Amino acid sequence: MTTPTALGTDEARSRLHELTVIDVRTPGEYAGGHLPGALNIPLDQIQRALPDIRHASERGDVLVVCASGARSETACRILAENGVATATLSGGTGAWAADGHDLHRPKGTSRAAWGMERQVRFTAGTVVLLGLLLGLLVHPAFQLLSAGIAAGLVFSAVTNTCGVAVMLAKLPHNRPRAADLDNTLAALRDR
């Protein structure tokens, strides 16, 4: 691959016409706005899409994108372990939008989906409040729920991973429909 392992938003924008862009966020996040021409292959489907991504990388450079860059770095690492050279977008779609570049939304998207980070914050906050409330009203041992979430957040920050995000990604609204993923893979093969 002729590109560095990370592209800035301006360089990615100037090369967009020659890149195969793969967005590894959940379908809901993708529907909320993505780089022009990006194909949605959620991170947990990368292994399934590996032959098609490899084929695309043989025809040209592949840029992997997510919300902030963490999931795309993971995807790039998985792909590199399987002999597929890719680059990631520094700062993800958040940086893309912050730099004034347009995000595209699929036709028929009626509501904005929450990004994974927002879903994680909501879930963690809800469990913390629930643990504190149950600890006050039922039994103090319920406060361990809040302590567990705090420990999980510290672990998540130190390791740059997120178990809650992995669990939330398995919810139906965060999963691609089989037909959607099949259509995306067919589009990837046709590029």
Residue type, 155: F
At position 163, the amino acid (one-letter code) is G
Rounded CA-CA distance 25/40 in Å is 7
Residue whose pair of structure tokens reads 């862009």 in the numeric block: 21
Q: Quote the CA–CA distance of 36 and 9 in Å, as a whole number.
A: 13
Please identify which of the residues 56, 62, 66, 67 carries the catalytic annotation.
66
**Annotated catalytic residue 66:** yes
> Burial, 169: exposed, middle or buried (Cβ in 10 Å; 0-12, 13-18, 19+)?
buried
CA–CA distance, 77 with 70 (Å, rounded to integer): 11
Please count the other Cβ atoms lying within 10 Å of the Cβ belonging to residue 43.
Answer: 22
> Would you please indicate which residues are annotated as catalytic (active-site) residues?
66
